[in-house]
Amino acid sequence: MTPETLLRALFDRAVEVADPMRCLAAHLPPKPAGRVVVVGAGKASARMAEAVEAAWGPCEGLVITRYGYGRPCKGIEIVEAAHPVPDAAGVAATARMLDLLKGCGPDDTVLALISGGGSALLIQPAADITLAEKQALTQDLLASGAPIGDINGIRKELSAVKGGRLAVAAYPARMFALLLSDVPGDNPGDIASGPTVGHRGDAAKALGVLARWGITPPPAIARFLAAGGDPVLPDDPRLSRVENVIFAAPSQSLAAAAELVRDAGAVPIILGDAIEGEAREVAAAHAVHAIEVQAGMGAVDLPRVLLSGGELTVTRRDNGVGGPNAEYALALALALGGAKGIHAIACDTDGVDGAAEVAGAMIGPDTLARAEAAGISARDALASNDAHGFFGAIGGQVVTGPTLTNVNDFRAIAILPR
């Protein structure tokens, strides 16, 4: 098996084990008696709804997913909307979902299906904040390089549906929430900005985060945060009938990939499933690690494979087309400088790296030489945040289409003896 074949197989395996059709049913209880309403949001939510109906049969409900990520369901309505910047379709679908929950009583059960991407898809701005203002702030946050925890913390403060408010809308019905984690640390309150999980709230902190990343919020957002926000606290009695269960997470995908590495006759080294930071900086550190590992290997040693997950960020410096995984791969290629025997893949498990319909990229010892032969500067591409353009030009992109799941970034570095 070539390093390229192995790396792609590892990514495919990581995606496969996180497919809700494979792993959700084991966490789904028997269908409750009485009325059951299914709601949800996220890039994997339609696939989750499909898995629920495979186990329970047709159900009443409404789920919001990303454009192109819909699935055929017999009873649950699937609505597609924009991600990562919300749009009017998401606002309209969220309003319909909240209207559906208004009719639920204490004898009813609400099944909530939540996955990464729900922060943009489940959208109802708080107070007098407009969609246009939320869109502008989202674009600024995504371009700033702020970590996802900071971004989602602000989203909670400014939402009428996140931060436990979806669960409040369902009260007094019982709510059982199944969550597919795409966040470092697997905190249920961070997945899709926690629509079924209360939080303490800190509007002053949100203003501080915006200032730290050099973002001036639109006036209505500034006024709302200055007034202190309106959080749903974790001990709010309206959350007393909610149960949150994480049924899939990045650690499971990395463990499955590690098993496949061993099956291929190599040695897996898991660096962590919750790595955060600027993509190019993490890549530089991983390049040093890979070179050190190779330097310590003998000629007959088994290959090593460094595995990692988490969520990297990109600070936008120019107007190129890129994403954190492709930028990581490009920066890694530059840091390795064509080192022989080191190959890597970096992809988002949802099939979308940044806002492009590209999962990520693959590199090898010849990446820089191929680019040079094509008259393309890797350093210029990195400087302009044009990693997708770079790999598109040299044939290094990984394109999957919708994977229907989302356990965030997957990275693997295969290291052969020198």
Mean pLDDT for the stretch of residues 58-70: 97
177 plus 49 within the same structural domain: yes
Question: What is the per-residue burial (b if ≥16 Cβ within 10 Å, else e) of 176-202?
Answer: bbbbbbbbbebebbbbbbbbbbbbebb
Domain boundary among 212, 228, 248: 248
The answer for residues whose C-beta is within 8 angstroms of residue 238's C-beta and 6 or more apart is: 167, 168, 171, 172, 232
Same domain, 316 and 227: no
pLDDT-based confidence at 23, cuts 50/70/90?
very high
Total of domains in the chain: 2
Whether residues 325 and 287 fall in one domain = yes
* Nearest C-alpha neighbor of 404 from the set 116, 200, 133, 134: 116
pTM of the predicted model as reported, rounded to 2 decimal places: 0.94
Burial class of residue 272, CB neighbours in 10 A (0-12, 13-18, 19+): middle
Q: Which two tokens stand for residue 50?
A: 């499909």
222, 313: one domain: no
Domain-terminating residue out of 248, 272, 302:
248
139/347 Cα distance (integer angstroms): 22
Q: What is the CATH number of the domain that holds 364?
A: 3.40.1480.10
Position 244 scores a pLDDT of 98
Inform me whether the pLDDT recorded for 201 exceeds 90: no
> Among residues 186, 221, 248, which one ends one of the domains?
248
Please compute the mean of the pLDDT values over residues 88-109 and round it to a whole number: 97
In 312-326, which positions are buried (b, 16+ CB within 10 angstroms) versus exposed (e)? bbbebeeebbbbbbb
Q: Are residues 296 and 236 in the same domain?
A: no
Q: Helical H runs in 146-233?
A: 148-157, 165-170, 203-212, 219-226
Residue 24 lies in a domain: no
User: Do both 36 and 168 map to the same domain?
Assistant: yes
Domain containing 197 equals 31-248
Tell me what the mean pLDDT of segment 374-400 comes to: 96
* 269 in the same domain as 137: no
Q: State yes or no: pLDDT of 353 exceeds 80.
A: yes
Pair 236, 99 in one domain: yes
Region for residue 49 given its phi and psi (left: phi exceeds 0; alpha: psi -120 to 50; beta: otherwise): alpha
On whether residue 20 sits in a domain, the answer given is: no
Same domain, 141 and 164: yes
> What distance in Å separates the CA atoms of residue 49 and residue 32, rounded to the nearest whole number?
16
The alpha carbon of residue 228 and the mean position of all alpha carbons in its chain are separated, in whole angstroms, by: 29
Q: What is the mean pLDDT of the chain?
A: 95
Please tell me whether residues 134 and 112 are part of one structural domain.
yes
323 and 208 part of one domain: no
pLDDT for residue 106 is more than 90: yes
Lowest mean pLDDT: which of 140-154, 212-226, 257-271?
140-154
In angstroms, the CA 151 to CA 249 distance is 20
